[in-house]
Amino acid sequence: MNLAWKEIKKNKVRFIILGSIIFLVSFLTFIISGLANGLSQDNAALIKDLPKGQFYMADDADGTFNLSRIDNDLQQKVMTKEKDAVAFSIQMGFLNDRDDKQQSVAFVTSTESTLFKNVHQGEVLLDSSLQDKGIQVGDTLTNNQYSGEFIVKGFVEQKKYSHAPVAYISEEAYHEMYRVNNKQLIYVPNKEPKEFKGLQAYSNKEFLNTIPSYSAEQLSLNMIIWFLVVISGMLFAIFFYMMNVQKIGLYGILKAIGLKTSKLFKMIWTQMAIITVISLFVSVSLSQLFNLVAPKGMPFTLTIATTTQLSIVFLIIGFIGATLSGIQIKKIEPLQAIQQGEA
Amino acid sequence: MTLFTIDEVRKTFKNGEVEEEILKGINLSLKEGEITALVGASGSGKSTLLTIAAGLQPATYGQVLFEEQNLMTMSTEQVRKLRASKFGFVFQFAHLVPFLTVEEQLLLMLEVADSSLKKHEQKHEVNRLLQLVGMAHRMTAYPSSLSGGEKQRVAIARAIIHQPKVLFADEPTASLDSQRSKEIMLLLRELTKTLNITTLMVTHDEEMLAYADRIIKMSDGVVLPSAMY
């Protein structure tokens, strides 16, 4: 007999309340997680979208790539050895649109590569968020440090750096604007770190953490997510505990008539699984729906992989919470329950 | 025929530093098809004796022999199996499972007792027994909609559905009014005789003794020999 399901059917309100709490906490966690991922994408999609590999910057830059200047000979040496390598630079700046309105962008230039967009001199390729601000293909944009003009060649999806849209420009334009002939970084995809004299290697994760504000921002958001996970775990345990305490008399009688303790454990695990799976299904569905309808300006990215990972964590926590409260069952003496009177 | 023997059973409880002997060497045997009533004042040890006999708590000393097996030397799991298959329980309160219907209460007991009956046979047996206790018309009702007397009838049906050899009844009528108490006792007597069950009942209600075959009076942890009849 499926005692777990029969109890849920009979005490719908009690289980709906428990399920609502699991739903609310998990939904909140998914939303915060979506925002964290969104902010992370907004901060460094340009880097995060690259495959795993190695970033090299000048070792005297001391981990701050803005200060890195890679000697051209050294760059040539690395690029000769590593065929897929690409040298690139990033600098924050402004573009003036046709109404002379300033748009904050991250200028990116690179050597020829499929990993970065390459444009001809006088052309610019922009992140699509600028399209929403009224900039169109063929528009002419200017920059105070650049003598020429940029003609918008097209738009790319989801390429952001430091919360600003990326603007791919030619090497010549970049060199003129920032008065440098060197690149800041060399990226070698799908490779283990190698020793190059005068260069320091960083993995994707290590490099992301060198970006100012990235690690601080992500650390704070991840702290919120994991606090929510821990708090929800405690809520699970407390609610299952309270439910079980209310049923101690019943469990005692069931044990007295000969029901196995393992059957009682199976009952609370089944209830936990039913309630948690239904609640998580609702919150995953709603958070994915929110992912689709979230306002364009809101940095929100929630993948199925992230929600699946968090859902598994919630299920494990729910299982631990139910088991901890179930330990009470093991301690119940049938005699005590009989003497307690009617439940 | 003797089915159940309680031999020199003692029970001591520790109350802080002080040891208190609740049962002081009880000897008793229960016969098939008989209702044995244990009576005595509060604290005389009658409920403690019943729970030891039912395997719900161990004795400090002595033997409880059922079908030549000593409950005191059995493992917890062996005692549980014995309770599930050979014993039945009726308590002062019905203690029904609140989220199961009357029919399901009995089906659960058959499941606990590892009944060899097939599903449709189990349903048939439940129906038969509920008719026997006059509750067949409330088969789909939940405990919350039953009266005290109805609940106790269902509790009795649950206690005997798996055809136990021994029925332990701890103050089975204490929560009922006089009329309902008589009905329940008549039912218990009838079932004990019809199904040849050995019943050990604790009661403080002298009126209920009329339904017992044997009355054992206890006082201060001992059986009063003169009061055995």
Q: Measured between alpha carbons, how far is A22 from A276 in angstroms, rounded to an integer?
A: 7
Of B98, B108, B170, the CB nearest to A338: B170
Give the pLDDT band (50/70/90) at residue A340.
Answer: low
pLDDT at A268 over 70: yes
CA A278 vs. chain centroid, Å, equals 24
Q: 10 Å Cβ neighbour count for B131?
A: 13
State the first-to-last Cα distance of chain B, in angstroms, to the nearest integer.
17
Q: Which of residues 233-272 of A touch B (CB under 8 A)?
A: 249-250, 253-260
Q: At A248, which helix (H) or strand (E)?
A: helix A248-256
8 Å CB contact of B95 and A253:
yes
Q: 10 Å Cβ neighbour count for B26?
A: 26
Note every long-range contact of B66-74, with CB atoms under 8 Å and residues 24 or more positions apart, other chains counting.
B66/B3, B66/B4, B66/B165, B66/B166, B67/B3, B67/B165
What is the pLDDT at residue A181?
87
Residue whose token pair is 């936990």: A272
What is the pLDDT at residue B226?
58
For A67: left if phi > 0, alpha if psi spans -120 to 50, otherwise beta; the answer is alpha
Q: Measured between alpha carbons, how far is B43 from B219 in angstroms, rounded to an integer?
A: 8
Q: Indicate the average pLDDT of chain A.
A: 88
Give the pLDDT band (50/70/90) at residue A236.
Answer: confident
Q: How far is CA B8 from CA B5, B23, B43, B63, B94, in A?
A: 10, 9, 19, 7, 31
Give the pLDDT band (50/70/90) at residue A221.
Answer: confident
CA-based nearest residue in chain A for residue B54: A256
8 Å CB contact of B56 and A256:
yes
Say whether residue A189 is in contact with chain B using an 8 A CB cutoff: no
Of A6, A250, A338, the CB nearest to B91: A338
Q: What is the signed CA dihedral for A326, A330, A332, A334, rounded to 10 degrees?
A: 120
One-character DSSP codes across A161-191: ETTEEEEE--HHHHHHHHT--SBSEEEEET-
What is the pLDDT at residue A62?
85
Is B197 within 8 Å of B191 (Cβ atoms)? yes
Say whether residue B229 is in contact with chain A using an 8 A CB cutoff: no
Say whether residue B95 is in contact with chain A using an 8 A CB cutoff: yes
For residue B53, the enclosing domain spans 2-227
Helix, strand and coil in chain A, % to nearest 5: 55, 15, 25
What is the pLDDT at residue A240?
79
Q: How big is chain B by its Cα radius of gyration, in Å?
A: 18
pLDDT at A15 over 60: yes
Q: What is the domain count for chain B?
A: 1
CA-based nearest residue in chain B for residue A263: B112
Query: For position B23, which CATH number holds?
Result: 3.40.50.300
What does the pLDDT look like over A302-333, one tens digit per residue?
999 999 999 998 888 888 888 887 787 777 77
CA A291 vs. chain centroid, Å, equals 13
User: In this predicted complex, what is the ipTM?
Assistant: 0.80
Of B91, B94, B100, the CB nearest to A6: B100
Q: 10 Å Cβ neighbour count for A240?
A: 24
Is A322 within 8 Å of A265 (Cβ atoms)? no
Nearest one of B158, B150, B144 to B105, comparing CA atoms: B158
What does the pLDDT look like over A276-298, one tens digit per residue?
999 999 999 999 999 999 887 78
Say whether residue B108 is in contact with chain A using an 8 A CB cutoff: yes
8 Å CB contact of B99 and A254:
no
Q: How far is CA A123 from CA A114, A171, A182, B34, in A?
A: 18, 11, 21, 105
Say whether residue B57 is in contact with chain A using an 8 A CB cutoff: yes
8 Å CB contact of B51 and A343:
no
B52: phi then psi, degrees, rounded to nearest 5: -70, -45
Say whether residue A6 is in contact with chain B using an 8 A CB cutoff: yes
CA A301 vs. chain centroid, Å, equals 7
8 Å CB contact of A338 and B95:
yes
8 Å CB contact of B99 and A7:
yes
Residue B164 in tokens: 């136990």
Each residue's pLDDT, cut to its tens digit, for chain B (229 residues) gives 778 899 999 999 887 888 888 999 999 999 888 999 999 888 889 989 999 999 988 999 999 999 888 999 999 899 999 999 999 998 888 889 999 999 999 999 999 999 888 999 999 999 988 988 889 999 999 999 999 889 988 998 999 899 899 999 988 888 778 887 888 888 889 888 888 899 999 988 888 888 999 999 999 989 987 555 4
What is the pLDDT at residue B74?
93
Crossing angle, helix B102-112 and helix B148-160, to 10 degrees?
A: 30
pLDDT at A169 over 60: yes
A120: phi then psi, degrees, rounded to nearest 5: -80, 165
For the ranges A227-231, A254-258, B85-89, B224-228, the maximum mean pLDDT occurs at B85-89
Residue B86 in tokens: 């050979």
Give the pLDDT band (50/70/90) at residue A341.
Answer: low
CA-based nearest residue in chain B for residue A250: B97
What is the pLDDT at residue A284?
94
What is the pLDDT at residue B97?
92
Q: Measured between alpha carbons, how far is A42 from A160 in angstroms, rounded to an integer?
A: 5
CA-based nearest residue in chain A for residue B83: A258
Residue B199 in tokens: 């019943």
pLDDT at A67 over 70: yes
The DSSP letter of residue B93 is S
